[in-house]
Amino acid sequence: MPVETFSGPAGEIIHIVSQPPPALPDVARRDLELAWEAAGAAPIPAATRVFHFPNPPSAPVELRVTDADAAAWVAALERERGISNLYNVSLCLRFLALVALMAQAGWAREWFALDRAGATLRPELLQAAALVRLNATGDFDETALRALLPAPWSAKSE
C-alpha cells in the first residue's frame, strides 16, 4: 500500500507513505494549479497532519503540518483528490513547498503577484514546482528549482 492513513491518539491524521519524498513522482502543472484553487476555497478548520516517510539508512522523516492554514489546505486537497496514492502526496507536498517558497524566498517574488483576490502564479513557477525533485524533508531544492526557471531571472531580491 503506497499510503496508509489513520487517526492518531491526539486526533491528528497520520499518513504513512511508502516512499521518501525524493522518490515521489513529478506532477502535472495543471494539477498543481487545481490544487491551488482547491486550497484557496473557503478553508475549513482541520486536524494536524503528520506524514511519515522512510529514509534509509537513516531514521524515518516525519513532516508535521501543525499550522492551522496549512492543515486546512491539506484537508482541502484531500477532499478534492484524496491522499491515498504517491502522486497525490507529491502534489500535496509540492503545494506546501510552494507556499513556503513564496513566503520565505525573496528571489521568488518576481514569479507571483499578490493582491486582495489572492495570489497569481506565473506558469513558469508552477511548471518548475511540478517537476523539481523534492528533498528528503519534502521541500524544494531551491537551486534545482531555479535551474528549471527560464533565464534571465532577476537576482536583485536575494
pLDDT in tens, 79-93: 888 999 999 999 999
pLDDT score recorded for residue 1? 66
- Please report, rounded to a whole number, the percentage of residues in the chain having pLDDT higher than 90: 66
Report pTM. 0.90
Domain membership of residue 110 as a residue range:
3-148
In this structure, what C-alpha cell is assigned to residue 39?
A: 486550497
Residue 157 lies in a domain: no
How many structural domains are present in the chain?
Answer: 1
Which residue is it, cell 514569479? 111
Q: What is the pLDDT of residues 116-151, one digit of tens each?
A: 877 888 999 999 999 999 999 999 999 999 999 997
Residue 154 lies in a domain: no
Residue 122 lies in a domain: yes
- The answer to whether residue 157 scores a pLDDT higher than 60 is no
Residue 155 lies in a domain: no
